[in-house]
Amino acid sequence: MFKPAIPVLCLLLLACGCAREQRLETGQKSLADLFPAEHTVGETNLDENWTAVTTARDFQFPADHAAHTDYRIEWWYYTGNLTTKDGRQFGYQLTFFRTGLHKEPANPSKWAVRDLYTAHFGLSDIHQKKHYCFQRNGRGGIGQAGANTDRYEVWNGDWKVALSGDDHQLRAKDSDVAIELELTPTKPLVFHGNEGVSRKGPSTGNASYYYSFTRMSTLGTIRIGGQTFKVQGNSWMDHEFSSSFLESGQLGWDWLAIQLDNGTDLMLYRMRREDGTTDPFSSASLVDRSGGVQHLSITDYTMKPMETWKSGRTGAVYPLYWRVEVPSRGYELEIRPAFDQQEMTTSDTTGISYWEGAINVLGNSPDGKVAGRGYMELTGYAGQGLGSILN
């Protein structure tokens, strides 16, 4: 998600607050049902003593891949572009969200809802120009879903990510669509923002801890209907946790994860305000071939939308075609979707629709022409503005 995350989102589009007296009622369909329109930045922090992100963290791995239950919002986000031996291309997204509803539930029953777990699974069959979208909500207390704190293992039903040595093992299946993948980092971890603290606004604590594996060699299988495809390629992993997110007036975000064929990776996001301007807390990271990172402020790069696409499902108009420039590093890139219809409609979980899909990249680098692939997430174009609930 953003995976600000902005991934995902990812994402994100998910989750994130509710007043102390609210309860998850039988029959509630989405997380949006839990969010009061009047909710303000920091309210849940104060009421339920969730930990705020205010200083740099002494990250320890692999321990910090696991859940951080003192924080209200957390997600683990994977995207990738994969190819069969004969050249058939696929893109995938698998995102796990943990949303703290009540840090210390008054009811001691295991049925009491402390955290709500949501997962989104998307698969793009680029050859067929067909996008598959699945979603799940689950409770932690009864083992339906969860995220361990002592080791990296997150699940929602039979969707799962776990660590085996240095490898990330992903599994998801719904209907007749499934992935089973093993991801191996080929670059070191990248910390975004200031030592992993990614600011989202001027308010104290309105920040997240945010790191990524920007390039992970990927092997495994994809199944669609009765066909199974052996695939390989590259994936991207984001992990982000915090207790507040967007502020009032911040509408949504445009997020890009780009892997270029010269070995450079780029994460860029543009947070959009309700008045149409770009939020000054937008930022980016440029990762060179060896894993060295340069952090960029919004004055160091531009993201200019060029063409839009209107969803027949939600009516949202998404800017799918972009021109990206990083003048100080000599990059001029054109971003195009692998195909247009890669919208995630998630009315049964987050209640928010967003565009998340595979992209192709062409342009110029300091060394000449360059190409690449990646993933793009566009939020806040359909339904309620995210600034009213992601805080």
Q: Tell me the whole-structure pTM to 2 decimals.
A: 0.87
pLDDT at position 106 is 67
Q: What angle do CA 383, 343, 276 make, to 5 degrees?
A: 45
- How far CA 17 is from CA of 28, 104, 240, 291, in Å, comes to 15, 14, 16, 35
- How far CA 223 is from CA of 170, 176, 180, 185, 374, in Å, comes to 14, 7, 9, 24, 21
Asked whether residue 23 is assigned to any structural domain, the reply reads no
pLDDT tens track for 259-295: 999 999 999 999 998 888 888 989 999 999 999 999 9
Please count the structural domains in the chain: 1
Q: Confidence class of residue 40 from pLDDT cuts 50, 70 and 90?
A: very low
Q: Confidence class of residue 384 from pLDDT cuts 50, 70 and 90?
A: low
Asked whether residue 240 is assigned to any structural domain, the reply reads yes
384: domain CATH number is 2.40.370.10
Asked whether residue 25 is assigned to any structural domain, the reply reads no
DSSP state letter for 62 = T
Burial class of residue 223 in the structure, from the number of CB atoms within 10 Å of its CB (0-12 exposed, 13-18 middle, 19+ buried): middle
**pLDDT higher at 96 or 205:** 96
User: Is the pLDDT reported for residue 243 higher than 60?
Assistant: yes
Task: For residue 132, count other CB atoms closer than 10 A to its CB.
Answer: 16
Q: Which domain holds residue 264?
A: 31-388
Please give the torsion angle defined by the CA atoms of residues 217, 220, 223 and 227, in that order, rounded to the nearest 10 degrees: 110
**Which strand (E) or helix (H) includes residue 48?**
helix 43-48
Instruction: State the average pLDDT for the chain.
Output: 84
Lowest mean pLDDT among 307-321, 348-362, 374-388: 374-388
pLDDT tens track for 334-370: 999 999 999 998 766 566 789 999 999 999 999 999 9
pLDDT at position 23 is 28
User: Is the pLDDT reported for residue 17 higher than 60?
Assistant: no
Gap between the Cα atoms of 264 and 258, Å rounded: 8
**Phi-psi sector, 274: left (phi>0), alpha (psi -120 to 50), beta:** alpha
Task: Give the residue-averaged pLDDT of 10-31.
Answer: 33
Q: Comparing C-alpha atoms, which of 384, 364, 343, 371 is closest to residue 133?
A: 343
Asked whether residue 52 is assigned to any structural domain, the reply reads yes
Q: What is the 3-state secondary structure (H, E, C) of 141-156?
A: CCCCEEECCCCCEEEE
User: Is the pLDDT reported for residue 21 higher than 60?
Assistant: no
User: Is the pLDDT reported for residue 175 higher than 70?
Assistant: yes
**Size (the chain), residues:** 391
Asked whether residue 3 is assigned to any structural domain, the reply reads no
Gap between the Cα atoms of 317 and 347, Å rounded: 18
Greatest mean pLDDT among 15-19, 34-38, 168-172, 310-314 lies in: 168-172
Asked whether residue 100 is assigned to any structural domain, the reply reads yes
Task: For residue 7, count other CB atoms closer than 10 A to its CB.
Answer: 34
Task: Give the residue-averaged pLDDT of 18-43.
Answer: 34
Task: For residue 70, count other CB atoms closer than 10 A to its CB.
Answer: 14
pLDDT at position 155 is 97
Asked whether residue 162 is assigned to any structural domain, the reply reads yes
Asked whether residue 352 is assigned to any structural domain, the reply reads yes
